[in-house]
Structure 1
Amino acid sequence: MKKKISLILLVLTMALGLAGCGADEKSADYDTQSMETCADTVLQSFQTMSDADFDMLRSYSDFQLNYTLMSSGLPIANDDFLIMMDSYQNAVKEYGELIDYGEFEVSESKDGPILTTKAEFENKDADIVLNFDDEEHMTDMSVNIKYTIGQILEKAGMNTLIGMGTVFLVLIFIAFIISLFRFIPAIEAKFKGNAKEAKVEAPAKPAPAPAAPVAEAPAKSEMDQSQLIAVITAAIAASEGTSTDGFIVRSIKRRKNNNWK
Protein backbone atom coordinates (compact mmCIF):
# COMPACT_ATOMS: atom_id res chain seq x y z
CA MET A 1 0.00 0.00 0.00
CA LYS A 2 2.82 2.34 0.89
CA LYS A 3 4.54 1.59 -2.43
CA LYS A 4 1.38 2.50 -4.36
CA ILE A 5 1.10 5.83 -2.53
CA SER A 6 4.78 6.59 -3.19
CA LEU A 7 4.31 5.75 -6.87
CA ILE A 8 1.30 8.08 -7.14
CA LEU A 9 3.21 10.94 -5.51
CA LEU A 10 6.13 10.37 -7.87
CA VAL A 11 3.82 10.52 -10.92
CA LEU A 12 2.23 13.75 -9.69
CA THR A 13 5.65 15.32 -9.09
CA MET A 14 6.82 14.42 -12.60
CA ALA A 15 3.58 15.82 -14.11
CA LEU A 16 4.02 19.12 -12.30
CA GLY A 17 7.64 19.28 -13.41
CA LEU A 18 6.68 18.69 -17.04
CA ALA A 19 3.98 21.38 -16.82
CA GLY A 20 6.55 23.87 -15.50
CA CYS A 21 8.99 22.96 -18.24
CA GLY A 22 6.25 23.38 -20.82
CA ALA A 23 5.56 26.92 -19.60
CA ASP A 24 9.22 27.86 -19.74
CA GLU A 25 9.53 26.35 -23.19
CA LYS A 26 6.56 28.44 -24.37
CA SER A 27 8.17 31.56 -22.97
CA ALA A 28 11.44 30.70 -24.66
CA ASP A 29 9.70 30.05 -27.99
CA TYR A 30 9.09 33.77 -28.55
CA ASP A 31 11.35 35.19 -31.24
CA THR A 32 12.49 38.30 -29.38
CA GLN A 33 14.73 39.43 -32.23
CA SER A 34 11.87 39.29 -34.73
CA MET A 35 9.57 41.26 -32.44
CA GLU A 36 12.23 43.91 -31.83
CA THR A 37 12.78 44.23 -35.58
CA CYS A 38 9.06 44.69 -36.12
CA ALA A 39 8.82 47.31 -33.36
CA ASP A 40 11.88 49.14 -34.66
CA THR A 41 10.46 49.20 -38.21
CA VAL A 42 7.16 50.64 -37.01
CA LEU A 43 8.75 53.39 -34.90
CA GLN A 44 11.25 54.40 -37.60
CA SER A 45 8.46 54.50 -40.19
CA PHE A 46 6.25 56.65 -37.98
CA GLN A 47 9.20 58.91 -37.16
CA THR A 48 9.89 59.68 -40.84
CA MET A 49 6.26 59.91 -42.03
CA SER A 50 4.45 63.21 -42.47
CA ASP A 51 0.78 63.92 -41.86
CA ALA A 52 0.15 63.51 -45.59
CA ASP A 53 1.68 60.02 -45.47
CA PHE A 54 -0.55 59.06 -42.56
CA ASP A 55 -3.60 60.35 -44.42
CA MET A 56 -2.62 58.42 -47.51
CA LEU A 57 -2.42 55.16 -45.54
CA ARG A 58 -5.85 55.85 -44.05
CA SER A 59 -7.26 56.28 -47.55
CA TYR A 60 -6.05 52.83 -48.63
CA SER A 61 -8.51 50.02 -49.09
CA ASP A 62 -8.22 46.96 -46.87
CA PHE A 63 -6.47 45.06 -49.65
CA GLN A 64 -3.97 47.88 -50.33
CA LEU A 65 -3.15 48.38 -46.65
CA ASN A 66 -2.81 44.65 -46.01
CA TYR A 67 -0.51 44.30 -49.05
CA THR A 68 1.63 47.24 -47.82
CA LEU A 69 2.03 45.71 -44.36
CA MET A 70 2.88 42.29 -45.77
CA SER A 71 5.44 43.82 -48.15
CA SER A 72 7.05 45.60 -45.17
CA GLY A 73 7.18 42.34 -43.22
CA LEU A 74 4.97 43.70 -40.44
CA PRO A 75 2.65 41.11 -38.82
CA ILE A 76 -0.05 43.66 -37.97
CA ALA A 77 -3.76 43.62 -38.75
CA ASN A 78 -5.19 46.58 -40.66
CA ASP A 79 -7.40 47.86 -37.84
CA ASP A 80 -4.62 47.54 -35.25
CA PHE A 81 -2.22 49.44 -37.49
CA LEU A 82 -4.67 52.33 -37.94
CA ILE A 83 -5.18 52.55 -34.17
CA MET A 84 -1.41 52.60 -33.66
CA MET A 85 -1.10 55.47 -36.13
CA ASP A 86 -3.72 57.46 -34.21
CA SER A 87 -1.92 56.81 -30.92
CA TYR A 88 1.42 57.95 -32.31
CA GLN A 89 0.01 61.11 -33.93
CA ASN A 90 -1.82 62.08 -30.74
CA ALA A 91 1.43 61.74 -28.78
CA VAL A 92 3.28 63.90 -31.32
CA LYS A 93 0.61 66.61 -31.17
CA GLU A 94 0.84 66.74 -27.39
CA TYR A 95 4.54 66.15 -26.72
CA GLY A 96 6.27 67.12 -29.98
CA GLU A 97 8.17 65.05 -32.53
CA LEU A 98 9.88 61.82 -31.58
CA ILE A 99 13.62 62.47 -31.31
CA ASP A 100 15.08 59.12 -30.26
CA TYR A 101 14.35 55.89 -28.38
CA GLY A 102 16.49 53.27 -26.66
CA GLU A 103 16.72 49.52 -26.41
CA PHE A 104 13.66 47.35 -26.04
CA GLU A 105 12.85 45.56 -22.81
CA VAL A 106 10.81 42.37 -23.12
CA SER A 107 8.20 41.32 -20.59
CA GLU A 108 5.18 39.06 -20.64
CA SER A 109 1.49 39.35 -19.83
CA LYS A 110 -1.43 36.97 -20.01
CA ASP A 111 -2.14 38.18 -23.57
CA GLY A 112 1.42 37.85 -24.87
CA PRO A 113 4.85 39.51 -24.88
CA ILE A 114 5.34 43.26 -24.36
CA LEU A 115 8.19 45.42 -25.68
CA THR A 116 8.94 48.68 -23.86
CA THR A 117 11.44 51.40 -24.83
CA LYS A 118 12.30 54.77 -23.30
CA ALA A 119 11.65 57.51 -25.86
CA GLU A 120 12.53 61.19 -26.01
CA PHE A 121 10.02 63.60 -27.49
CA GLU A 122 10.57 67.32 -28.00
CA ASN A 123 8.70 68.32 -24.86
CA LYS A 124 8.48 65.18 -22.75
CA ASP A 125 10.14 61.85 -22.06
CA ALA A 126 7.89 58.82 -22.36
CA ASP A 127 7.74 55.05 -22.46
CA ILE A 128 6.54 53.51 -25.72
CA VAL A 129 4.82 50.19 -25.08
CA LEU A 130 4.17 47.73 -27.95
CA ASN A 131 1.93 44.72 -27.27
CA PHE A 132 2.08 41.39 -29.12
CA ASP A 133 -0.20 38.34 -29.01
CA ASP A 134 0.86 34.72 -28.62
CA GLU A 135 1.52 34.48 -32.36
CA GLU A 136 3.90 37.45 -32.18
CA HIS A 137 1.55 39.77 -34.07
CA MET A 138 1.73 43.38 -32.93
CA THR A 139 -1.69 44.40 -31.60
CA ASP A 140 -1.30 47.77 -29.89
CA MET A 141 1.01 50.67 -29.15
CA SER A 142 0.72 53.25 -26.36
CA VAL A 143 2.79 56.22 -25.23
CA ASN A 144 3.07 56.67 -21.46
CA ILE A 145 4.48 59.96 -20.23
CA LYS A 146 6.95 59.87 -17.37
CA TYR A 147 6.31 62.59 -14.79
CA THR A 148 8.78 63.56 -12.09
CA ILE A 149 7.64 63.89 -8.50
CA GLY A 150 7.75 67.67 -8.81
CA GLN A 151 5.57 67.59 -11.94
CA ILE A 152 3.10 65.25 -10.26
CA LEU A 153 2.86 67.52 -7.20
CA GLU A 154 2.53 70.58 -9.41
CA LYS A 155 -0.27 69.00 -11.40
CA ALA A 156 -2.04 67.86 -8.23
CA GLY A 157 -1.73 71.34 -6.70
CA MET A 158 -3.07 72.96 -9.86
CA ASN A 159 -6.05 70.60 -9.94
CA THR A 160 -6.72 71.37 -6.26
CA LEU A 161 -6.60 75.12 -6.85
CA ILE A 162 -8.90 74.89 -9.85
CA GLY A 163 -11.40 72.75 -7.93
CA MET A 164 -11.41 74.97 -4.85
CA GLY A 165 -11.57 78.13 -6.97
CA THR A 166 -14.57 76.78 -8.84
CA VAL A 167 -16.35 75.95 -5.58
CA PHE A 168 -15.71 79.42 -4.13
CA LEU A 169 -16.92 81.12 -7.30
CA VAL A 170 -20.14 79.12 -7.20
CA LEU A 171 -20.66 79.97 -3.51
CA ILE A 172 -20.07 83.68 -4.17
CA PHE A 173 -22.59 83.61 -7.02
CA ILE A 174 -25.18 81.87 -4.83
CA ALA A 175 -24.62 84.44 -2.05
CA PHE A 176 -25.10 87.26 -4.57
CA ILE A 177 -28.39 85.74 -5.76
CA ILE A 178 -29.61 85.38 -2.17
CA SER A 179 -28.71 89.01 -1.42
CA LEU A 180 -31.09 90.12 -4.20
CA PHE A 181 -34.08 88.50 -2.48
CA ARG A 182 -34.65 91.60 -0.31
CA PHE A 183 -35.62 93.59 -3.41
CA ILE A 184 -38.37 91.17 -4.40
CA PRO A 185 -41.15 92.68 -2.15
CA ALA A 186 -40.49 96.22 -3.44
CA ILE A 187 -40.51 95.06 -7.04
CA GLU A 188 -43.71 93.10 -6.47
CA ALA A 189 -45.42 96.12 -4.85
CA LYS A 190 -44.34 98.31 -7.75
CA PHE A 191 -45.82 95.93 -10.28
CA LYS A 192 -49.10 95.77 -8.35
CA GLY A 193 -49.30 99.61 -8.22
CA ASN A 194 -48.73 99.89 -11.95
CA ALA A 195 -51.41 97.30 -12.57
CA LYS A 196 -53.97 99.30 -10.53
CA GLU A 197 -53.15 102.54 -12.36
CA ALA A 198 -53.40 100.86 -15.72
CA LYS A 199 -56.83 99.45 -14.92
CA VAL A 200 -59.48 101.72 -16.45
CA GLU A 201 -63.09 101.43 -15.37
CA ALA A 202 -65.48 100.79 -18.19
CA PRO A 203 -67.97 103.74 -18.72
CA ALA A 204 -71.55 103.11 -17.66
CA LYS A 205 -73.91 102.41 -20.48
CA PRO A 206 -76.42 105.28 -21.02
CA ALA A 207 -79.97 104.49 -20.01
CA PRO A 208 -82.20 103.86 -23.00
CA ALA A 209 -84.43 106.82 -23.84
CA PRO A 210 -88.07 106.26 -22.87
CA ALA A 211 -90.26 105.47 -25.74
CA ALA A 212 -92.49 108.34 -26.81
CA PRO A 213 -96.14 107.70 -25.95
CA VAL A 214 -98.14 106.81 -28.95
CA ALA A 215 -100.98 109.28 -29.39
CA GLU A 216 -104.32 107.69 -29.98
CA ALA A 217 -105.69 108.40 -33.36
CA PRO A 218 -108.43 111.05 -32.98
CA ALA A 219 -110.39 109.54 -35.82
CA LYS A 220 -110.73 106.23 -33.97
CA SER A 221 -111.82 108.01 -30.75
CA GLU A 222 -114.44 110.05 -32.55
CA MET A 223 -115.69 106.92 -34.33
CA ASP A 224 -116.15 105.06 -31.07
CA GLN A 225 -118.01 108.07 -29.57
CA SER A 226 -120.43 108.32 -32.54
CA GLN A 227 -121.13 104.60 -32.46
CA LEU A 228 -121.90 104.79 -28.75
CA ILE A 229 -124.30 107.74 -29.32
CA ALA A 230 -126.07 105.88 -32.09
CA VAL A 231 -126.54 102.82 -29.90
CA ILE A 232 -127.89 104.85 -26.98
CA THR A 233 -130.23 106.85 -29.28
CA ALA A 234 -131.64 103.68 -30.73
CA ALA A 235 -132.16 102.23 -27.26
CA ILE A 236 -134.02 105.37 -26.03
CA ALA A 237 -136.18 105.49 -29.12
CA ALA A 238 -137.10 101.85 -28.70
CA SER A 239 -138.02 102.31 -25.05
CA GLU A 240 -140.17 105.43 -25.77
CA GLY A 241 -141.76 103.97 -28.84
CA THR A 242 -140.76 106.92 -30.97
CA SER A 243 -138.47 107.52 -33.89
CA THR A 244 -134.85 108.56 -33.57
CA ASP A 245 -135.65 111.67 -35.60
CA GLY A 246 -137.56 113.22 -32.73
CA PHE A 247 -134.56 113.85 -30.46
CA ILE A 248 -130.79 114.29 -30.68
CA VAL A 249 -128.19 113.07 -28.17
CA ARG A 250 -125.62 115.83 -27.69
CA SER A 251 -123.29 114.28 -25.14
CA ILE A 252 -122.82 111.26 -22.93
CA LYS A 253 -121.60 111.49 -19.28
CA ARG A 254 -120.80 108.54 -17.01
CA ARG A 255 -122.48 108.76 -13.64
CA LYS A 256 -120.45 108.12 -10.54
CA ASN A 257 -123.15 105.99 -8.99
CA ASN A 258 -124.32 103.22 -11.31
CA ASN A 259 -126.90 101.57 -9.10
CA TRP A 260 -129.47 100.08 -11.37
CA LYS A 261 -132.76 99.13 -9.80
Structure 2
Amino acid sequence: MSDDLGTLYVVGIGPGLPHAMTQRAKDVIQTADCVIASNLYQEFLRRDGTLPPETAADGGTATAEQGRPEQEVVRSSMGRQIELAREAFERVREGEDVAHVSGGDPNVYGKSDLLFLMAQEDEATDVPIEIVPGVTAALGGAANLGAPLSNDFCTVSLSDKWRGWDEIEEKLRAAAISGFVVVLYNCWRNYERAVEILREERADDVPVAIVNDAGRGDAGRNGEGRTITTLGEATEHDDEVAGMGTSLIVGNHETETWDNDYEQFLVTPRGGRDVDDF
Protein backbone atom coordinates (compact mmCIF):
# COMPACT_ATOMS: atom_id res chain seq x y z
CA MET A 1 0.00 0.00 0.00
CA SER A 2 1.37 3.40 -0.95
CA ASP A 3 2.22 5.82 1.85
CA ASP A 4 0.58 8.53 -0.25
CA LEU A 5 -2.88 6.95 0.05
CA GLY A 6 -5.40 7.44 2.82
CA THR A 7 -7.92 4.82 3.93
CA LEU A 8 -11.65 4.54 3.35
CA TYR A 9 -13.24 3.50 6.64
CA VAL A 10 -16.84 2.26 6.63
CA VAL A 11 -17.76 2.96 10.24
CA GLY A 12 -20.65 1.37 12.10
CA ILE A 13 -21.87 3.64 14.88
CA GLY A 14 -24.62 1.42 16.27
CA PRO A 15 -27.72 3.40 17.19
CA GLY A 16 -25.68 6.54 16.59
CA LEU A 17 -25.26 7.98 20.05
CA PRO A 18 -21.67 8.35 21.24
CA HIS A 19 -22.05 6.10 24.29
CA ALA A 20 -23.07 3.17 22.07
CA MET A 21 -20.09 3.33 19.68
CA THR A 22 -16.94 1.29 19.93
CA GLN A 23 -13.81 3.23 20.84
CA ARG A 24 -12.38 2.31 17.43
CA ALA A 25 -15.35 3.92 15.66
CA LYS A 26 -15.04 7.07 17.75
CA ASP A 27 -11.28 7.32 17.12
CA VAL A 28 -11.64 6.86 13.35
CA ILE A 29 -14.35 9.52 13.08
CA GLN A 30 -12.46 12.03 15.21
CA THR A 31 -9.23 11.71 13.24
CA ALA A 32 -10.59 11.35 9.68
CA ASP A 33 -9.94 14.14 7.19
CA CYS A 34 -13.47 13.76 5.84
CA VAL A 35 -16.59 12.33 7.48
CA ILE A 36 -19.58 11.37 5.33
CA ALA A 37 -22.74 11.12 7.44
CA SER A 38 -26.45 11.87 7.30
CA ASN A 39 -27.84 14.91 9.08
CA LEU A 40 -29.25 12.69 11.85
CA TYR A 41 -25.94 10.96 12.51
CA GLN A 42 -24.08 14.27 12.37
CA GLU A 43 -26.41 15.55 15.07
CA PHE A 44 -25.79 12.48 17.23
CA LEU A 45 -22.01 12.60 16.75
CA ARG A 46 -21.79 16.25 17.81
CA ARG A 47 -23.35 15.52 21.19
CA ASP A 48 -20.09 14.69 22.92
CA GLY A 49 -17.65 16.19 20.47
CA THR A 50 -17.04 13.11 18.35
CA LEU A 51 -17.66 15.66 15.60
CA PRO A 52 -16.88 19.31 16.36
CA PRO A 53 -19.66 21.89 16.50
CA GLU A 54 -21.28 22.90 13.25
CA THR A 55 -20.04 26.21 11.85
CA ALA A 56 -22.65 28.54 10.42
CA ALA A 57 -20.24 30.22 8.02
CA ASP A 58 -19.87 27.26 5.72
CA GLY A 59 -23.26 25.60 6.18
CA GLY A 60 -21.83 22.91 8.41
CA THR A 61 -19.76 21.07 5.83
CA ALA A 62 -16.29 22.19 6.97
CA THR A 63 -15.49 22.31 10.66
CA ALA A 64 -12.40 22.94 12.73
CA GLU A 65 -11.71 23.15 16.44
CA GLN A 66 -8.68 24.10 18.47
CA GLY A 67 -6.46 21.09 19.13
CA ARG A 68 -8.05 19.01 16.35
CA PRO A 69 -7.08 18.57 12.72
CA GLU A 70 -9.14 20.40 10.13
CA GLN A 71 -12.00 18.15 9.12
CA GLU A 72 -14.67 18.27 6.43
CA VAL A 73 -18.11 16.86 7.14
CA VAL A 74 -20.20 15.94 4.10
CA ARG A 75 -23.92 15.24 4.23
CA SER A 76 -24.96 11.80 3.07
CA SER A 77 -28.37 11.03 1.58
CA MET A 78 -29.93 8.02 -0.13
CA GLY A 79 -29.87 9.68 -3.53
CA ARG A 80 -26.16 10.51 -3.45
CA GLN A 81 -24.60 7.18 -2.47
CA ILE A 82 -22.90 6.47 -5.82
CA GLU A 83 -21.62 10.03 -6.10
CA LEU A 84 -20.31 9.98 -2.53
CA ALA A 85 -18.57 6.63 -3.02
CA ARG A 86 -16.66 7.99 -6.00
CA GLU A 87 -15.82 11.15 -4.08
CA ALA A 88 -14.49 9.01 -1.23
CA PHE A 89 -12.25 7.03 -3.61
CA GLU A 90 -10.76 10.24 -4.98
CA ARG A 91 -10.17 11.69 -1.54
CA VAL A 92 -8.35 8.52 -0.45
CA ARG A 93 -6.19 8.65 -3.58
CA GLU A 94 -5.30 12.21 -2.60
CA GLY A 95 -4.10 11.01 0.79
CA GLU A 96 -7.18 11.65 2.93
CA ASP A 97 -8.66 9.29 5.49
CA VAL A 98 -12.42 9.13 4.91
CA ALA A 99 -14.95 7.88 7.47
CA HIS A 100 -18.15 6.80 5.71
CA VAL A 101 -20.67 6.51 8.54
CA SER A 102 -23.22 3.70 8.64
CA GLY A 103 -25.84 3.22 11.33
CA GLY A 104 -25.79 -0.07 13.17
CA ASP A 105 -23.18 -2.36 11.62
CA PRO A 106 -22.01 -1.76 8.05
CA ASN A 107 -22.40 -5.45 7.22
CA VAL A 108 -25.99 -5.77 8.49
CA TYR A 109 -28.07 -4.06 5.80
CA GLY A 110 -25.56 -1.21 5.95
CA LYS A 111 -23.21 0.47 3.50
CA SER A 112 -20.26 -1.89 3.23
CA ASP A 113 -21.51 -3.84 0.21
CA LEU A 114 -22.17 -0.62 -1.74
CA LEU A 115 -18.60 0.57 -1.25
CA PHE A 116 -17.21 -2.76 -2.46
CA LEU A 117 -19.60 -2.87 -5.41
CA MET A 118 -18.60 0.65 -6.36
CA ALA A 119 -14.91 -0.22 -6.00
CA GLN A 120 -15.47 -3.14 -8.37
CA GLU A 121 -17.50 -1.01 -10.80
CA ASP A 122 -14.84 1.70 -10.88
CA GLU A 123 -11.88 -0.72 -10.74
CA ALA A 124 -10.79 1.05 -7.57
CA THR A 125 -8.56 -1.79 -6.40
CA ASP A 126 -5.95 0.74 -5.30
CA VAL A 127 -8.18 2.17 -2.54
CA PRO A 128 -7.57 0.73 0.97
CA ILE A 129 -10.89 -0.16 2.69
CA GLU A 130 -11.44 -1.02 6.36
CA ILE A 131 -14.75 -1.95 7.97
CA VAL A 132 -15.27 -0.75 11.55
CA PRO A 133 -18.06 -2.80 13.15
CA GLY A 134 -20.93 -1.42 15.22
CA VAL A 135 -23.87 -2.62 17.32
CA THR A 136 -26.72 -3.60 15.02
CA ALA A 137 -30.43 -3.29 15.93
CA ALA A 138 -30.76 -7.01 16.63
CA LEU A 139 -28.11 -6.82 19.34
CA GLY A 140 -29.29 -3.50 20.73
CA GLY A 141 -32.85 -4.77 20.91
CA ALA A 142 -31.77 -8.07 22.46
CA ALA A 143 -29.85 -6.24 25.19
CA ASN A 144 -32.99 -4.24 25.97
CA LEU A 145 -35.00 -7.45 26.25
CA GLY A 146 -32.63 -9.65 28.23
CA ALA A 147 -31.51 -12.83 26.47
CA PRO A 148 -33.72 -13.58 23.44
CA LEU A 149 -30.80 -14.42 21.10
CA SER A 150 -28.85 -16.83 23.32
CA ASN A 151 -29.44 -19.71 20.89
CA ASP A 152 -29.38 -19.79 17.08
CA PHE A 153 -31.04 -16.82 15.42
CA CYS A 154 -31.23 -15.11 12.04
CA THR A 155 -32.11 -11.70 10.63
CA VAL A 156 -34.46 -11.12 7.70
CA SER A 157 -35.04 -7.79 5.99
CA LEU A 158 -38.58 -7.11 4.83
CA SER A 159 -37.42 -4.58 2.26
CA ASP A 160 -38.48 -5.68 -1.22
CA LYS A 161 -36.54 -2.93 -2.98
CA TRP A 162 -34.02 -5.37 -4.46
CA ARG A 163 -35.72 -8.74 -4.02
CA GLY A 164 -39.26 -9.95 -4.39
CA TRP A 165 -41.64 -11.12 -1.74
CA ASP A 166 -41.45 -14.69 -2.99
CA GLU A 167 -37.83 -14.80 -1.86
CA ILE A 168 -38.57 -13.03 1.43
CA GLU A 169 -41.42 -15.44 2.14
CA GLU A 170 -39.19 -18.45 1.41
CA LYS A 171 -36.59 -17.21 3.89
CA LEU A 172 -39.19 -16.48 6.58
CA ARG A 173 -40.75 -19.91 6.25
CA ALA A 174 -37.37 -21.66 6.32
CA ALA A 175 -36.34 -19.70 9.42
CA ALA A 176 -39.58 -20.53 11.19
CA ILE A 177 -39.38 -24.23 10.36
CA SER A 178 -35.73 -24.38 11.44
CA GLY A 179 -36.48 -23.04 14.90
CA PHE A 180 -34.42 -19.86 14.62
CA VAL A 181 -35.34 -16.86 16.68
CA VAL A 182 -36.04 -14.36 13.90
CA VAL A 183 -35.18 -10.67 13.93
CA LEU A 184 -37.12 -8.67 11.35
CA TYR A 185 -35.61 -5.48 9.91
CA ASN A 186 -37.37 -2.84 7.78
CA CYS A 187 -40.65 -3.61 9.48
CA TRP A 188 -42.53 -0.68 8.00
CA ARG A 189 -42.71 -2.77 4.82
CA ASN A 190 -45.45 -5.37 5.17
CA TYR A 191 -44.60 -6.58 8.67
CA GLU A 192 -48.15 -7.93 9.00
CA ARG A 193 -47.53 -10.13 5.96
CA ALA A 194 -44.31 -11.43 7.49
CA VAL A 195 -46.03 -12.24 10.78
CA GLU A 196 -48.77 -14.20 9.02
CA ILE A 197 -46.16 -16.28 7.18
CA LEU A 198 -44.36 -17.05 10.43
CA ARG A 199 -47.68 -18.03 12.06
CA GLU A 200 -48.11 -20.77 9.47
CA GLU A 201 -45.07 -22.58 10.91
CA ARG A 202 -44.87 -21.32 14.50
CA ALA A 203 -47.33 -21.36 17.42
CA ASP A 204 -49.33 -18.23 18.15
CA ASP A 205 -48.20 -18.13 21.78
CA VAL A 206 -44.48 -17.69 21.13
CA PRO A 207 -43.24 -14.37 22.51
CA VAL A 208 -42.59 -11.45 20.18
CA ALA A 209 -40.97 -8.13 21.02
CA ILE A 210 -41.49 -4.90 19.09
CA VAL A 211 -38.46 -2.68 19.68
CA ASN A 212 -38.16 0.95 18.61
CA ASP A 213 -34.93 2.96 18.42
CA ALA A 214 -32.91 0.51 20.48
CA GLY A 215 -30.11 2.27 22.31
CA ARG A 216 -31.27 5.79 21.40
CA GLY A 217 -33.26 6.73 24.46
CA ASP A 218 -35.29 9.84 23.69
CA ALA A 219 -33.00 10.85 20.82
CA GLY A 220 -34.56 8.66 18.13
CA ARG A 221 -37.32 9.62 15.76
CA ASN A 222 -39.93 7.94 17.93
CA GLY A 223 -38.16 7.41 21.25
CA GLU A 224 -36.81 4.12 22.54
CA GLY A 225 -39.49 1.66 23.54
CA ARG A 226 -40.45 -1.99 23.55
CA THR A 227 -43.60 -4.06 23.68
CA ILE A 228 -43.68 -7.76 24.52
CA THR A 229 -46.59 -9.58 22.95
CA THR A 230 -47.19 -12.89 21.14
CA LEU A 231 -46.99 -13.94 17.51
CA GLY A 232 -50.75 -14.30 17.38
CA GLU A 233 -51.28 -10.73 18.59
CA ALA A 234 -48.28 -9.01 16.99
CA THR A 235 -50.29 -7.39 14.20
CA GLU A 236 -52.54 -5.68 16.75
CA HIS A 237 -49.72 -3.20 17.49
CA ASP A 238 -49.62 -1.18 14.27
CA ASP A 239 -49.15 2.08 16.14
CA GLU A 240 -45.91 0.76 17.66
CA VAL A 241 -44.32 -0.25 14.33
CA ALA A 242 -42.97 3.21 13.75
CA GLY A 243 -40.64 3.09 10.77
CA MET A 244 -36.97 2.41 10.09
CA GLY A 245 -36.12 2.31 13.79
CA THR A 246 -38.44 -0.63 14.47
CA SER A 247 -37.37 -4.27 14.70
CA LEU A 248 -39.36 -7.34 15.65
CA ILE A 249 -37.77 -10.19 17.58
CA VAL A 250 -39.83 -13.35 17.12
CA GLY A 251 -39.08 -16.09 19.63
CA ASN A 252 -39.19 -19.85 19.08
CA HIS A 253 -40.76 -22.71 21.05
CA GLU A 254 -38.11 -22.37 23.77
CA THR A 255 -38.34 -18.60 24.26
CA GLU A 256 -40.01 -17.59 27.49
CA THR A 257 -40.95 -14.39 29.28
CA TRP A 258 -39.29 -13.85 32.64
CA ASP A 259 -40.06 -11.21 35.25
CA ASN A 260 -38.08 -9.79 38.11
CA ASP A 261 -39.09 -7.01 40.47
CA TYR A 262 -38.44 -4.38 37.81
CA GLU A 263 -39.49 -5.46 34.35
CA GLN A 264 -40.24 -8.28 31.94
CA PHE A 265 -37.61 -10.00 29.81
CA LEU A 266 -37.39 -12.55 27.00
CA VAL A 267 -35.07 -15.53 27.45
CA THR A 268 -34.18 -18.16 24.86
CA PRO A 269 -32.06 -20.83 26.59
CA ARG A 270 -28.96 -22.15 24.87
CA GLY A 271 -30.78 -25.49 24.59
CA GLY A 272 -31.09 -28.56 26.78
CA ARG A 273 -29.11 -27.10 29.70
CA ASP A 274 -29.78 -26.29 33.29
CA VAL A 275 -27.65 -24.48 35.86
CA ASP A 276 -25.59 -27.60 36.65
CA ASP A 277 -24.41 -27.75 33.03
CA PHE A 278 -22.39 -24.59 33.57
What TM-score does the superposition give when structure 2 sets the normalisation length?
0.17
| Greater share of residues in helix | 1
With a CA cutoff of 8 Å and minimum separation of 6, indicate the structure with the bigger relative contact order.
Answer: 2
| Greater share of residues in strand | 2
